A and B are shown apart, each in its own frame.
Chain A
C-alpha cells in the first residue's frame, strides 16, 4: 500500500502548482484552470485520508467539492465570457476597475 505521505506530497505539489498558476498567469481561463488544480489537490487529500482512516466522509466531501467546482467553473466561465464581451479581453491585468 502506498503510504499516506506520498498522497500528501502529490497533493501539495499540485496545490502549489495551482496556486502559482493563479497568482502569475494573465489569462483568466488559465487562472480558472489553476483554481481547478487547487481544488483537486484538496480532493486528493480527502480521498487519501478517507482510505487511510477507512471512513466514507472524505469521499463524500470529495464528491461535494467536485460538484461545487463544476458550479464554480460554470459561474467563472460565465464571468469570463461577459468580461470578454464587455472589455474584449480575458487578461486579468486589464481588469482592475475595483481600486482606489
Chain B
C-alpha cells in the first residue's frame, strides 16, 4: 500500500529544489538559505522510503508500475517504478544518509551566505534524482537519472566555482564519468535493439533468452553496462576524478561517496544481475576490475596527507570490494549453479560502507570545520578538543578496518570468503583474494594512520590547535546516529535475515535461507575469517607503531631512496592524472587544433581559392566595362555582325 505512493519519494526533494532554487535569496534570508525546506522534504521522502522499504522487505513483493513515455516504431520508452528488495535497501541508504547530510549541512555550510540557497537547491535535486534512479523501472529511465546525478555532482563539486581548482575538478568529474556513460549508453542501445525495443527491468530479467544478436553481443552489452559503472563508481581506469572531487564541500563528498553518485554504479551492476549471470565473462571482468581497484586505490591512500583525499581513495577501494563481490558471486553462481552469499555481501557492504563512510566524511568535515585545513600534517592531538568527533571517527575507522563485530567486518569477510570459494572454479580468483586481503591490511593501516595523525599525539600546529572547537549540535547529532549504524548495521543486517531477502529474482528460487545465528556460527568456523581479522589487526598495529608509539619512524621509510620514489609515484597517482591531462591536452586538443587548422586553411582555403579565381577573372574583364556607352554599342554591333556572318557562312544561307 505504501509502494503505490513510492513515486512521491523523489518528488519531495524535487519540490524543495524548485522552491529553494527558483525563489529569490530575499525569501530565504532568515531561513538559512532554504535549509528547513530541504530538510523537511528530505525527511518526508526518507520516512516514505522507510515505509516502502519496510513493506517490501517484509512482504517480499515486487511492485511494478509504468507509463508509456514515448513509442516510436516498435521502440517503447517507459517511465515507471520498480520496487524490489534491492530497491528497498537503496531507498533506506540513500534517503536516510541524505537526510542526515542535509541536517549536518546546516552547521557545516553556516558561513556560506547567499551561496547557501544554491547549495540546498542542488543538494535537494541531487537527492531527488538519486532516489529517482533507484526507483526507475527501466534502463532508459535509470540512465536519465544517472546523467542527472552526474550533473548534480558536477554542480556540487564545483560549488565554490570561483576557485579554479574546483571548476577544473567538476569538469573532470563530469567528463570522466561521461566516458563511462557513453559505454553505458551503447550498452543500453545494444539491449534496446536486442530486446526488441523494450528496456523494462521486468521484461529483460524474465526474458534474457529472448535477446537477439547472440551471446557475444549480450556479453558486450553487459560489459558496456559495467563500463558505465566503472565511470560512475570511479573504478580503474576511470577512477581519477574522485580524488579531485574533494574540491567540493565535505558534505557533498559525504553524499557522493556514501549515498549517491558512486553507489549508483554498484546499484546498476547489482540491478543488472539477472542478465549478468548469463554472461560469466563480464562477471570475471567485473571481479578483476573490482579486486584490482580495491588494492590499487588503497595504496594511494598510504602516504597522502590530505584527510579527504585519504577517504576518497578508501571509497574507491571499498567500491572495488563491492564489484569484486558482485563479480565473484555471479561467476560462482554461473559456473556452479549453487547459491552463495556474495551478492548479499556486496550489497550489505554497500549499506555498511554508506554508513561508515558517511560517518567518516562528516567527521572529517567536523575536523575541517574546526581547524580550517585539510592537511593532516597541521593537525594532531585534536581528540582533546573534539571529543565526540574523535570518538565517532574512531568507531568509523574500526568499522572500515574490519574488526568484529563492527559492520565493515561482516560484509568484507563474506566478500573475501566468496572470492576464495570462487577460486576453486577459476584460479584467477585466488589472486583476487590476495588483492582483497592485502587491501584489507592497507585499509586498516591508512585509516588508523589518519586517525592517529589527526587526533593523537602533540599538536603539530599550535595556532590551529588553539582555535579548534567541537562541532555544533546540529553536526554531531547526525554523527552519533551514523556511528550507531556504522557499528551495528552489519550485525543487525545478518540477524534480521537480510541474507535471504536482498537477492535478485533470478537466484531467489534456489536460495537457501539460513538464519542469522547459523550464518555467524558458520562464519567463525571458517579459518579464512581469522585471516581477515588478523590482517586487520596487523594493519592497525603497524599504524599504531608508526604513528602513535612512534616505535617505527615513518620518516625513515619515506626518506629512504626507494620510499621517496614510491611515495612520489603514489602522490602522482601512478601518473594517471598526468596521463589524463596529456590525453586531454595533447591528443584531443591537438586533434581539435589540427581540425581547426584544416578548416581554416584547407576547406576555407579552397573556398577562398575559388573566390580568388573569380575575382581575378573579374579584374581582367572589368577593363571592358569602361562606362562609355559607345564602346558597349560597338561591341554589340561587332557581336551581332559576327553572328550574322557566321550564320551566313555556316548556316547554309549562301
Contacts and interface: CB of A to CB of B under 8 A. Distances in A.
Interface stretch (B134-142, B185-193, B627-635): B627-635
Interface in B605-645: 622-623, 625-630, 633-634, 637
Q: How large is the interface on B (under 10, 10 to 19, 20 to 34, 35 or more residues)?
A: 10 to 19
Contacts of B625: 99-100
Contacts of B634: 23
B626 A96 contact: yes
A98 interface: yes
B633 A100 contact: no
Contacts of A98: 627
Contacts of B630: 22-24, 31, 92
Contacts of B628: 92-93, 96
A96 B624 CA distance: 13
A97 interface: yes
A19 interface: yes
B627 A96 contact: yes
A92 B629 contact: yes
Interface string A41-71: 0000000000000000000000000000000
Contacts of A92: 628-630
A44 B623 CA distance: 38
A19 B636 CA distance: 11
Nearest to A22: B633
Contacts of A31: 630
Contact of B626 (A19, A23, A24, A99): A99
B322 to A, nearest CB: 79
Contacts of A96: 626-628
A19 B637 contact: yes
Nearest to B641: A19
A96 B626 CA distance: 7
Q: How large is the interface on A (under 10, 10 to 19, 20 to 34, 35 or more residues)?
A: 10 to 19
Given A92-B630, A93-B628, A100 B637 contact: no
Given A93-B628, A99-B627, A23 B622 contact: no
B259 to A, nearest CB: 76
Contacts of B623: 100
Contact of B637 (A23, A95, A97): A23
A95 B629 CA distance: 9
A37 to B, nearest CB: 14
Interface in A63-100: 92-93, 95-100
A67 B249 CA distance: 94
Nearest to B630: A23
B458 to A, nearest CB: 91
Contacts of B626: 96, 99
A97 B627 contact: yes
Nearest to B629: A92
A97 B634 CA distance: 18
A72 to B, nearest CB: 15
Nearest to A35: B633
Contacts of B629: 92, 95
A19 B628 CA distance: 16
Residue in B626, B630, B634 with the greatest tally of chain A CB atoms within 10 Å: B630
Contacts of B633: 22-23
Interface string B72-116: 000000000000000000000000000000000000000000000
A96 B625 CA distance: 10
B645 to A, nearest CB: 15
Interface in B393-434: none
Nearest to A97: B627
Contacts of A100: 622-623, 625
A23 B633 CA distance: 7
Contacts of A22: 630, 633
A92 B623 CA distance: 18
A92 B628 CA distance: 7
Contacts of A97: 627
A53 to B, nearest CB: 21
A68 to B, nearest CB: 19
Nearest to B637: A19
B631 to A, nearest CB: 9
A96 B629 CA distance: 8
Residue in A31, A92, A96, A100 with the greatest tally of chain B CB atoms within 10 Å: A100
A98 B629 CA distance: 9
A21 B637 CA distance: 13
Nearest to A28: B629
A99 B627 CA distance: 4
Contacts of B637: 19, 23
A24 B623 CA distance: 20
B605 to A, nearest CB: 27
Interface string A12-42: 0000000100111000000100000000000
A100 B623 CA distance: 8
A22 B622 CA distance: 23
A23 B637 CA distance: 9
A31 B628 CA distance: 13
A17 B612 CA distance: 44
A98 B628 CA distance: 8
A34 B622 CA distance: 28
A70 to B, nearest CB: 21
A22 B634 CA distance: 9
Nearest to A19: B637
Nearest to A98: B627
A77 to B, nearest CB: 16
Contacts of B622: 100
Contacts of A93: 628
B357 to A, nearest CB: 79
A95 B627 CA distance: 7
A99 B634 CA distance: 16
A24 B627 CA distance: 15
A85 B626 CA distance: 23
A97 B630 CA distance: 14
Contacts of A99: 625-627
8 contacts: A19-B637, A93-B628, A95-B627, A96-B627, A96-B628, A98-B627, A99-B625, A99-B626
Interface of A: 19, 22-24, 31, 92-93, 95-100
For the complex of A and B, the 9 pairs showing the least CB-CB separation, nearest first, are A96-B627, A99-B627, A100-B622, A23-B634, A99-B625, A98-B627, A23-B630, A96-B628, A99-B626
Given A23-B630, A92-B628, A96-B626, 20 more contacts: A19-B637, A22-B630, A22-B633, A23-B633, A23-B634, A23-B637, A24-B630, A31-B630, A92-B629, A92-B630, A95-B629, A96-B627, A96-B628, A97-B627, A98-B627, A99-B625, A99-B627, A100-B622, A100-B623, A100-B625
